[in-house]
Structure 1
Amino acid sequence: MIIVPEKDIADLMTREAAFAAVEQVFAAMASGDAYNFPVVREAIGHADALYGFKGGFDRLGGVLGLKAGGYWPHNLETHGIINHQSTVFLFDPDTGRVAAMVGGNLLTALRTAAASSVSIRHLAREDAEVLGMIGAGHQAAFQLRAALEHRSFGKVVGWNYHPEMLPNLEKVAAEAGVAFEAVDLPGMREADVIVTITSSFDATLMAEHVAPGTHVACMGTDTKGKQEVDPALLAAATVFADEIAQSVSIGEAQHAVSAGLISESDIAELGAVINGSHPGRRSDEEITLFDGTGVGLQDLAVAAAVVALARANDTAIEVEV
C-alpha cells in the first residue's frame, strides 16, 4: 500500500494536475464510464461533528475508492487544526486490496477549485474579462487562484458577508497582477464570471445581480438547506451540474426544483459538454450556471493523480498490509 501523508501533498499536487483529473472524471461520468456511490453523511453526536463517506468507481481510469471525513467545527479554536478533515482510500479494482491512503484536506480544496475552473473553461464566454467572487474565506482563495491561472481575467470584483475578509482575495489578485475592487452585490453585474463559495443558508446572489452572458459557478452548496443564489437565477439560466442527482437533492437546484421553477430534466451534466455530447453555451447573451456539489469521484481522481506523482518523485511511502 502507498501512503501519501497530508504534509507531502503541497509539494506534489499542482492545480494543473487537479484540473486535468477533474475534467477527465467529469467526462467519464457523463459517458457512463464512472459512477458515484450513495453518500453517507451523519451528525455523530460528538464534538458537533458531521462525518461521512463519498466513493465511486471510474472504470475508464481504473480508480476505485472512497473519501472518509467531515467537519469538526471546533477544531481550529480547540486543537489548532482546520475544521475540515478527510482521508482518501484507493483500492485495486481487480482484487479489492487496499492500494493507497492519501491525505485529503488540501486535495479537497484543490479539486473543488478545479471543478469551478473546468466549468469556466467550458461554459464562460471567450471574451470574459471580469471575475466576480462571492465569499472570501479559506476555500475562496483556492477558487480565485485556480480561476486566474486558467483564464486571463483583467479584474476581480469581490463581496463577502464580512468585508474585513476581502483582503484575502485582494492579496491573491495582486499576486497574479490583477486589479481588485470590493463591490456591493449589484456591482456583480460588471462580472462576466461569478464564483460563489460561501456556507450560506439564505440566497445572497439574486437574479438581478447577474448580467446577460454571465457564467456562474455555485460551489458552496453541498447540503440540504444550504443556498447561495436566488432560485429565479436558475430559472433564467442554462444549468449544468457535476452530478444531477446531487444537484437536485443537496445543491443549488434543490430550491429551484422545490419551487417548481425548473425540473431535473432541465439540468445537464458538465461532463457532457466536455465530451461533446452537449453544446454547452449557445450564445453570448445566455446565462450559464454550474451547480458544483462535490462528488466522490473528484476526490478519487486527484488522489490517484497525487499517488502517481509521489511514485514518479520517489516520495511514496510503501508499506505491507
Structure 2
Amino acid sequence: MYVVAEKEIAGLMTPAAAFEAIEAMFASMASRKAYNFPVVREAIGYEDALYGFKGGFDGAGLVLGLKAGGYWPHNQKHNLINHQSTVFLFDPDTGRVKAAIGGNLLTALRTAAASAVSIKYLAPKGAKVLGMIGAGHQSAFQMRAAAVHQFEKVVGWNPHPEMLSRLADTAAELGLPFEAVELDQLGADADVIVSITSSFAPMLMDGHVKGATHIAAMGTDTKGKQELDPALVARARVFTDEVAQSVSIGETQHAVASGLIAESAISELGAVVAGLHEGRGTAEVTLFDGTGVGLQDLAVANKVLEIAIEKGIAQRSKSDPSGARNTPARRNRSGRAIR
C-alpha cells in the first residue's frame, strides 16, 4: 500500500491537475461509467464532531475508494484546521487497499476545480469580471481555480468585511485588480459569481443579478444551508454535480421544496462536459450547484497518487509484503501505468 502524506500534497497537486481530474470525472458520471455510493454522515457525540464517508467507483478510470473524515469545530485548540479527511483507494480487481492519501488540501482543490469546470462550460461569452461572495479559507482556492478563465477584475463581498483582505491578496497574486462592493453592485457588475460561505439564509437575491451571469454556488452542502434567493435559482438554468444530492442538501433544496422548480429541471454539469447537453444556450443566468461528491475526491486522490509515484514521493507501507511489484499494471486515462 502506498501512503501519500498530507504534507506532500501541496508540492504535488496543482489547480491545473485538479481541473483535469475533475473534468474527466464529470464526463464519466454523465456517461454512467462512474457512480457515487450513499453518503454516511453522523454526529458522533464527542467534540461536537461530524464524521462520515463519501465513496464511489469510476469504471472508466478504474478508480475505487472512499474519503473518510469530517468536521471538528474545536480543532483550533490542537492547531489544526476544522476539516480533516483521508482518502483510501482500492484495487478494483482484488479489493485490496492501494493507497492512503491526505485529503485536507485535496478537498479544497477539488471543490475549487468543480467550480472552475462550471465556469469553463457555462460562463457567458466575453466574461470579464469575477464576483466573490465569501472570504473564508476556501475562497482563495476558488479564485485561483477560476483563473482558468481570463478575468480582468475581481469584485468581492463578505459578511465580515475585515476578512476581505484574503480576496484582495489572492487577486493581487493573480495580477488582477480587486474592489470591495455591496451585493447589489456585485450582482450587477460580475459576469461570473462564486459563492462560498456557510450561510443558512439567502444573501444573493434575485434582484441583485443583472444581465448574462453564471453563478457557482459552492457553499451549500448540508440540509438547511442557503446562499441564494430561491427566486434567483428558479430564474436560472440549473446544473449540478449530482441531482439527488442537489435537491436534498444543495442550493436547490429550497427552490424545490417551495415548488419553484422541479427536480427534472436540474441537469448534470457532466452532461455538458460530455457534449450531451447544450449548456448555457440562450439562458441569461446559469447556476452550478456544487454539493461535492465522493467521486471528485477519488479523482484528485488518484491523480496525486500517479504524480507521487512518478516522482518517487509515495511511501510504501512496510505492512504490505506483496508490494506493487506483484500487482499487474493498470492504465489510467492518460495511458500511464498505475500499480
| TM-score, structure 2 normalization | 0.93
Q: 1-side partners of 2:267 and 2:56: how far apart?
A: 20
Displacement of 1:36 in angstroms is 0.2
Displacement of 1:234 in angstroms is 1.0
Displacement of 1:186 in angstroms is 0.3
Q: CA RMSD in A?
A: 0.7
Deviations 1:47-73 (A, max 9, x none): 000100000000001000000000000
Indicate the SS of the match to 2:7: helix
Partner residue, 1:180? 178
2:305 partner amino acid: V
Q: Percent identity?
A: 68
Displacement of 1:176 in angstroms is 1.1
Q: 2-side partners of 1:211 and 1:111: how far apart?
A: 29
Gaps of 5+ in 2: 321-339
**Which residues in structure 2 correspond to 1:98-247 (within 5 Å)?**
98-148=97-147, 150-188=148-186, 189-247=188-246
Partner residue, 2:330? none
Partner residue, 2:314? 316
Q: Count matched residues.
A: 318
1:4 partner amino acid: V
Residue 70 in 1 paired to residue 36 in 2?
no
Say which one has the larger Rg.
2
Q: 2-side partners of 1:213 and 1:125: how far apart?
A: 6
Deviations 1:194-242 (A, max 9, x none): 0000000000011111112100000000000000000111110000000
Partner residue, 2:36? 36
Q: 2-side partners of 1:23 and 1:292: how far apart?
A: 13
Partner residue, 1:12? 12
Partner residue, 2:329? none
Task: Specify which of 286, 300, 303 is matched with residue 301 of structure 2.
Answer: 303
Deviations 1:259-309 (A, max 9, x none): 0000110000000000000000113x6200000000000000000000000
Partner residue, 1:293? 291
Runs (4 or more) in structure 1 with deviation over 6 Å come to none
Deviations 1:138-167 (A, max 9, x none): 00010011112x011111000001000001
Displacement of 1:126 in angstroms is 2.5
Q: 1-side partners of 2:210 and 2:54: how far apart?
A: 35
Q: 1-side partners of 2:203 and 2:192: how far apart?
A: 16
Indicate the SS of the match to 1:99: strand
1:293 partner amino acid: T
Indicate the SS of the match to 1:280: coil
Q: 1-side partners of 2:11 and 2:294: how far apart?
A: 23
Displacement of 1:40 in angstroms is 0.4
Indicate the SS of the match to 1:87: strand
Displacement of 1:312 in angstroms is 0.7
Q: 1-side partners of 2:273 and 2:284: how far apart?
A: 18
Q: 2-side partners of 1:89 and 1:252: how far apart?
A: 28
Q: 2-side partners of 1:95 and 1:65: how far apart?
A: 13
Residue 275 in 1 paired to residue 274 in 2?
yes
Q: 2-side partners of 1:173 and 1:123: how far apart?
A: 22
Indicate the SS of the match to 2:304: helix
2:179 partner amino acid: E
Q: 1-side partners of 2:264 and 2:286: how far apart?
A: 16
Deviations 1:28-48 (A, max 9, x none): 001100000000001110000
1:104 partner amino acid: G
Partner residue, 2:326? none
Deviations 1:97-142 (A, max 9, x none): 0000000000000000000000000000120000000000000010
Gaps of 5+ in 1: none
